[in-house]
Amino acid sequence: MEHLYREAEKLIESVFHVKLEDYGPYSGSTSMGPFPSLDLSTFESLDGEARKKAVAGTIDHTLLTPDATPEQVERLCAEALEHSFFSVCVNSSHIPRVSDRLIDSPVAVCAVVGFPLGAMDSEAKAFEARKAVEEGAEEIDMVMPIGLLKSGALHETYEDILAVVESARVPVKVILETCLLDTKEIILASLISRIAGAAFIKTSTGFSTGGAKVEHVEAMRLAVGENMGVKASGAIKTAEQALAMIRAGANRIGSSSGIAIISEL
């Protein structure tokens, strides 16, 4: 995989006339500092409740289905508060409700943007992100323009991500939809997200042909080092799966099965 990174690095530096070594860690902040990670070296020594709390603090408690009702969103928020999940992640139309419900709580508010295809106009994505932030979103998970990246339109991919980053002015996670990409494309998308100023890269929407895989997370972490966060999402339903993603380099887990995950610890 290292040789694919070197190839991608050389291509990015050539196309964008940059030196990746000049791009240090993400310069913004997140609700818990730059990129809090679960300390696996001490995790096994924790008791059951401490394990649950540690893993819960990495989870974006998620409900993104098109038929999600206001009552289900309310319940999602109540569960996040009860179990101390990192955030509640919902479609942007639900952000006013979630923001009101979680006000003055430690649980962050996260909106998805350009979801789930990423194929809409960049200005529309930027507008959706800005409106979500105005209504209380503290993090934005945007879907990148997958087809543009795959066609080799690297500048256009960068501009799409940059438009959302500059409009949102809160931490942005770029959803790569790794099930549709080969390893070199995953690395390229990760590097483009880095130079566009995103805070995180994220594996999946959960609405395509597959979810997070350990090898995808490893490729993403190789690409960005410790300079960005990595979020694994899509088809993560068990504690074993969540911990495997964290061992591979994920700082954050996106799942609609957060309660089931921590109940297994």
Nearest CA-CA partner of 38 in 243, 264, 203: 243
How far is C-alpha 176 from the geometric centre of its chain's CA atoms?
A: 9
* Catalytic residue of the set 125, 141, 173, 213: 141
* Catalytic residue of the set 52, 125, 173, 202: 202
* Catalytic residue of the set 52, 173, 213, 231: 231
Helix ranges (DSSP H) in the chain: 2-16, 40-43, 48-56, 70-83, 95-102, 122-134, 146-150, 154-168, 183-195, 214-224, 239-248, 258-263
141 catalytic? Reply is yes
Tokens of 93: 């139309």
213 catalytic? Reply is no
Determine if residue 61 is left, alpha or beta; phi over 0 gives left, psi from -120 to 50 gives alpha, anything else beta.
beta
19 catalytic? Reply is no
For residues 123 and 44, give the distance between their C-alpha atoms in angstroms, rounded to a whole number. 46
**What type of residue sits at position 165?**
V
Exposed e or buried b per residue across 100-132, where buried means at least 16 C-beta atoms within 10 angstroms of its C-beta:
ebbeeeebbbbbbbbbbebeeebeebbebbbeb
Just list the catalytic residues: 141, 202, 231
